């Protein structure tokens, strides 16, 4: 059935009764439990009125949709990257299945530039961005992803091959915030075989993606490696246990880092400002590295930290090199503080319509204002000149140059961080720096 979430305990009791009466397979009840558990781990600020489900047509996402739709109001979304000729037909397959469940479905198409380099990673980023925009437009605050324990094990092997540290080897998160949306993976502890068995019991089909057998992709290589490693006892289950242990260790380190941030870090105007004396005297080198990586990720909005050698160079020379750029950020150091701000060059030319995320910012207009024809871009040097009393804001010039501004053509309408608010409000779309340190 569909509808708003009921009491967790009442649903658990109903499942137990159904299993006892022979009306539900125990395996189905367990999968429904994990679906419910995923919902009840949500951050309190997120509404559970409706749930978005990203569905490709593969077995994992089809099972996620079918299970989530049993007890929740869901909407499905499929992204057609245009990378394979079969993609449109696969989206139609998902649409027909959603129609059979009376579940609203949307197909999104990637119309960005031709992908180069790491094609799968670019496709993943495009998918998250498109789905986040769709979810916000539909008033959906959370989206379920159909990753499984098999995906977790494969990811571990791929990251191991890239000499990842403990943070990378701690695996995919069960939930995370990105693009103003809470993403969650309710079946990250279940195997692909379990989800396929559920689909088989329910008479639900799925699509086999031919790229899953293409050996030029790292994930396919990892999948094959897992089969070869099985005689050594290196299985999906064992690797997931290892990932869990590393995730627990990372959680403990994250807690320690948050305590250091509370004592030594502030975040005025979206910058990260670190007390230089505390950084030098009270934070050990590993925590220094983690803090700088976290700050660079939060300020730049990047998905991955910079190369380790570049961060090591910073840690060795920050007292001598007082001004530098790194990972789309500008870092200025004095005897009293280390300030990490967005690099103005990194956002020059970046524009977005009002209502969309610009860089890592979201701007809210005054109520009732017609925002037609308005765009968001970096304030820049010319815009800053137009704000006569920007110094009264107390925000450094380097920070303001990369801050968001609203324009009508060439005319500056608002620059909230510079003191020219005009009723507009600016907030960091990815949440606070402190929350960004929390591994879920």
Domain boundary among 276, 308, 342: 342
The pLDDT tens digits for 334-361 are 999 999 999 999 999 999 999 888 999 9
pLDDT for the residue numbered 112: 55
The pLDDT tens digits for 398-425 are 999 999 999 999 999 999 999 999 999 9
pLDDT for the residue numbered 262: 95
Percent of the chain with pLDDT over 70: 93
Stretch 133-159: mean pLDDT: 95
By three-state DSSP, how is residue 327 classified? coil
161 & 275 share domain: no
The pLDDT tens digits for 168-179 are 899 999 988 888
Higher-confidence position of 65 and 124: 65
Cα–Cα nearest to 182, from 41, 86, 293, 71: 41
Q: What predicted TM-score, i.e. pTM, was given to this entire model?
A: 0.78
Is residue 257 in some structural domain? no
176 & 320 share domain: no
Domain boundary among 342, 364, 390: 342
218 & 353 share domain: no
81 & 176 share domain: yes
pLDDT for the residue numbered 335: 94
pLDDT for the residue numbered 162: 87
**Confidence band (pLDDT; 50, 70, 90) for 439?**
low
The CATH number of the domain holding residue 310 is: 3.30.465
The CATH number of the domain holding residue 34 is: 3.40.50.620
Average pLDDT over the chain reads: 90
Domain boundary among 342, 360, 391: 342
218-225, long-range: CB < 8 A, 24+ apart: 218/120, 218/158, 218/161, 219/120, 219/154, 219/158, 222/153, 222/154, 222/155, 222/157, 222/158, 223/150, 223/154, 225/157
Residue 264 CA from chain centroid, whole number: 26
**Confidence band (pLDDT; 50, 70, 90) for 40?**
confident
Structurally, the chain folds into a number of domains equal to 3
Is residue 413 in some structural domain? yes
79 & 170 share domain: yes
16 & 66 share domain: yes
283 & 422 share domain: no
319 & 351 share domain: no
CA dihedral 52, 55, 60, 63 (to 10 degrees): 60
336 & 406 share domain: no
Is residue 251 in some structural domain? no
Which structural domain, as residue segments, surrounds residue 108?
A: 8-239
φ/ψ (deg, to 5) at 45: -75, -10
Residues in Cβ contact with 224 at an 8 Å cutoff, skipping those fewer than 6 apart? 215
DSSP-assigned beta bridge partners for residue 342? 329
68 & 124 share domain: yes
Is residue 436 in some structural domain? no
The number of beta carbons lying within 10 Å of the beta carbon of residue 362 is 21
82 & 104 share domain: yes
The pLDDT tens digits for 209-265 are 777 778 888 889 999 999 999 999 999 999 999 999 999 999 899 899 999 999 999
Answer yes or no: is pLDDT of 115 > 70: no
373 & 332 share domain: no
Is residue 104 in some structural domain? yes
pLDDT for the residue numbered 117: 47
- How do beta strands 337-342 and 329-333 pair? antiparallel
Answer yes or no: is pLDDT of 163 > 90: no
């Amino acid at each position: 059935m569909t509808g708003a979430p009921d009491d967790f305990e009442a649903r658990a009791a109903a499942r137990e009764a159904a299993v006892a009466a022979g009306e539900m397979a125990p395996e189905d009840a367990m999968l429904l439990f994990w679906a419910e558990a995923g919902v009840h781990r949500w951050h309190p600020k997120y509404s559970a009125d409706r749930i978005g489900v990203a569905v490709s047509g593969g077995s994992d996402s089809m099972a996620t949709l079918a299970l989530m739709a049993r007890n929740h109001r869901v909407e499905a979304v499929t992204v057609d990257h245009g990378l394979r000729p079969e993609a449109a037909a696969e989206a139609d397959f998902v649409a027909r299945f959603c129609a059979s469940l009376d579940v609203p479905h949307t197909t999104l198409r990637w119309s960005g530039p031709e992908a180069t380099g790491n094609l799968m990673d670019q496709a993943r980023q495009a998918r998250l961005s498109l789905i986040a925009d769709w979810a916000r437009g539909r008033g959906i605050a959370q989206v379920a992803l159909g990753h499984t324990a098999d995906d977790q094990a494969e990811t571990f092997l791929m990251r191991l091959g890239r000499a990842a540290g403990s943070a990378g080897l701690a695996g995919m998160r069960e939930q995370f915030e990105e693009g103003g949306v809470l993403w969650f993976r309710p079946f990250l502890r279940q195997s692909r075989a379990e989800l396929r068995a559920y689909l088989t019991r329910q008479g639900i089909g799925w699509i086999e993606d031919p790229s899953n057998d293409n050996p030029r992709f790292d994930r396919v290589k990892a999948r094959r490696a897992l089969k070869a490693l099985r005689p050594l006892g290196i299985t999906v289950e064992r690797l997931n246990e290892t990932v869990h242990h590393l995730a627990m260790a990372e959680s403990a380190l994250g807690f320690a880092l948050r305590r250091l941030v509370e004592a030594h870090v502030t975040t005025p105007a979206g910058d990260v400002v670190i007390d230089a004396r505390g950084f030098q005297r009270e934070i050990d080198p590993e925590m220094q590295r983690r803090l700088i990586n976290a700050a660079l990720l939060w300020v730049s909005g990047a998905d991955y930290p910079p190369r380790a050698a570049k961060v090591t160079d910073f840690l060795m020379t920050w007292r001598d090199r007082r001004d530098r750029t790194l990972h789309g950020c500008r870092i200025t150091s004095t005897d009293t503080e280390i300030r990490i701000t967005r690099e103005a060059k990194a956002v020059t030319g970046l524009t977005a319509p009002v209502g969309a995320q610009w860089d890592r910012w979201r701007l809210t207009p005054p109520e009732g204002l017609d925002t037609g024809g308005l765009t968001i871009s970096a304030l820049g040097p010319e815009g800053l000149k137009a704000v006569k009393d920007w110094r009264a804001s107390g925000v450094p010039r380097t920070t303001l140059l990369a801050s968001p501004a609203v324009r009508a053509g060439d005319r500056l309408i608002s620059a909230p961080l510079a003191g020219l608010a005009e009723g507009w409000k600016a907030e960091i779309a990815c949440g606070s720096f402190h929350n960004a340190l929390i591994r879920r």
